[in-house]
Amino acid sequence: MRALLLALALALAVCCSLAACGSEAPEGTADRFEDVAWRPLPTGEVQRIAFGSCAHQWAPQPIWATVVATKPDLYLSLGDAIYGDWDGKQVVPFSEASMTAGWRMLADHPDFTQLRAAVPVMATWDNHDYGKHDGGAEFEHRALARRMFLDFFGEPLDSPRRRRPGVHDARIFGPEGRRVQVILLDTRSFKGPTRRDPRTKAEKQAAGLSGSMGRYVPNMDASTTLLGEAQWSWFEQQLAQPADLRLICSSTQVIPDQKGMDEWGNYPRDRMRLFKLLESAEVRGVLLLSGNVHFGELSGLKRDAYPLLEFTASGLTHINGDYAQFHNPYRMAGPVGKVHFGLVEVDWAREGGPRVRLRAIGEAGETLLTHEVPLRTLGG
C-alpha cells in the first residue's frame, strides 16, 4: 500500500513539474511524427507544381484527391496547413499539446494521406501553423513551433534548415535550360511590429472593410522588417543561383496592399526592397506565389515591358467572399471565390520558347482561373 502511495505521489510530482514548465514536454516524449512518410523531392525536370494554403484539419479535405489527379511533380504548402491556434469557434492558447494535436489530426487525415503518398511536398508557414494569429518575431514559442513544423514535414535532423532560425528553404530542380527554383520565404519568424489601423469599426465598415481587413496600416519605421536581415541575405544568395523559372513563395500577399490584412503592404520598405531586387537584370523568370487571404487571384505590378506576376491561391477547405470582392487595383484575373488550389504548368518544349500556364482548380477539377504567358516575359 505504501509503495502504491509513493508511486502515486511520484506520478503527481511529474505531472506538476510538466504543468509548471507550460507547453514544453521533456525531450524524447514529444510526438516527432516519425511515422509520417513523405515522397522524396524530384531529382529531375519538373513541369507541374501545385500549391495552396489554408486548410482546417478537422474538416473534410476532398481537394487533395483533385490535387493528386493533376499529377503534380511537387506540392508547395504556403501556410495554414493546420489551424493550431483556433478550433473553428474560438482561439486556442498555444501549447505543445494543442499544436501537436493539430499536426497529428492532419497526419492521420484520410484525405491528406492521399497527397503525402503521391506527391512530394515543400512547405513554409503562415500564422495558424506558426501558432499565433498574425504572429511574428515577438512570439515566444516560435522555436518550439518551428521544431514541430519541421518534424511534421519530415525535415532530416541533420538538415542545414534545422540550423537556421526560420523555416525558409530553397531548391533547384531540373537541368540547365529547364531549371525551376523554389524559394520558400518565412514571413513569420522575423516579422517586426505592425501598426494598427486607427479607424473605428464603423469607419472601416463604411470603407467596405470587414473581418481581418482594415486591421493594419503600413509601418514606415526604418527599423521594421518583415523578412529580417539574415533572411534577406540568404534570399539574395538564392537569387544569385542560376535558374530559368523562379517560384518565390510567400505565405502572405506581396503585391496587393489595399486590404489592411496581414500582408507585405504593412512593411513598405521590405516590399520595395523586394521589387528593386527583382528588377535586377540577372534575376529572370520570376513568379510570385502566395496564399493566406481565403480567395484566389492573379495580380500584376506594371513594369517596363511585362508585369511582375503574383498568383495567390488560398482556401483548400474554406473561402471568404468579402475578401474576394474587395478592390485590388493590381488584379489581372479572378477573384476565385470557391475552394481551390493553384497549378503552375511549364511547357518546356513549346515551339517559340517555354510557356507557363497558371490555373486555379476547384474541388471537382474545374478550372476557375487561367492565365498563360511565355516564360521569357517573366522578368524580375
Q: Please, what is the minimum distance in Å from the beta carbon of residue 98 to Fe ion?
A: 17
The C-alpha atoms of residue 84 and residue 251 are separated, in whole angstroms, by: 16
Residues present in the chain in total: 380
CB-nearer residue toward Fe ion: 231 or 314: 314
Binding-site size for Fe ion (CB under 5 A) equals: 2
Minimal distance in Å, beta carbon 167 to Fe ion? 17
Cβ closest to Fe ion, residue 54 vs residue 289? 54
Between 245 and 339, CB nearer to Fe ion: 339
CA angle, 266 then 270 then 273, to 5°: 140
Supply the minimum distance, in Å, between the C-beta of residue 373 and Fe ion: 28
Beta-bridge partner residues of 22:
none
Rounded Cα distance between 121 and 342, Å, is 14
Whole-angstrom distance, CA of residue 327 vs CA of residue 253:
14
Strands 245-250 and 296-301, bridge-based pairing? unpaired
What is the DSSP code (8-state) at residue 91?
Answer: B
Site for Fe ion in 256-285 (CB under 5 A): none
- Binders in 285-344 for Fe ion, by CB under 5 A: none
Indicate the residue whose CB is closest to Fe ion: 54
As measured in angstroms, the least distance from the Cβ of 42 to Fe ion is 27
Q: What are the backbone dihedrals phi and psi of residue 335, each rounded to the nearest 5 degrees, phi first?
A: -75, 160
Cβ distance to Fe ion smaller for residue 273 or 318: 318
Encoded one letter per residue, x for contact with Fe ion by CB under 5 A and - for no contact, window 63-92 reads: -----------------x------------
205-229 exposure pattern, b = at least 16 Cβ within 10 A, e = fewer:
eeeebeebbbbbebbeeeebbbbbe
Minimum CB separation of residue 166 from Fe ion in Å reads 19
Binding to Fe ion, residues 6-65 (CB under 5 A): 54
Instruction: Give start and end residues of each alpha helix (H) in the chain.
Output: 2-20, 63-69, 96-107, 110-118, 127-130, 142-152, 201-206, 229-239, 268-279, 321-325
Grid cell for residue 36: 509520417
Least separation, in Å, of the C-beta of 260 and Fe ion? 16
Q: DSSP label at 206?
A: H
Closer residue to Fe ion, CB minimum distance, 54 or 333? 54
Closer to Fe ion at the Cβ: 54 or 115? 54
Q: Nearer Cβ to Fe ion, position 54 or 356?
A: 54
| Pairwise CA distance, residues 196 & 198, whole Å | 6
CB of 264 to Fe ion, least distance (A): 16
Residue ranges in contact with Fe ion by CB under 5 A = 54, 80
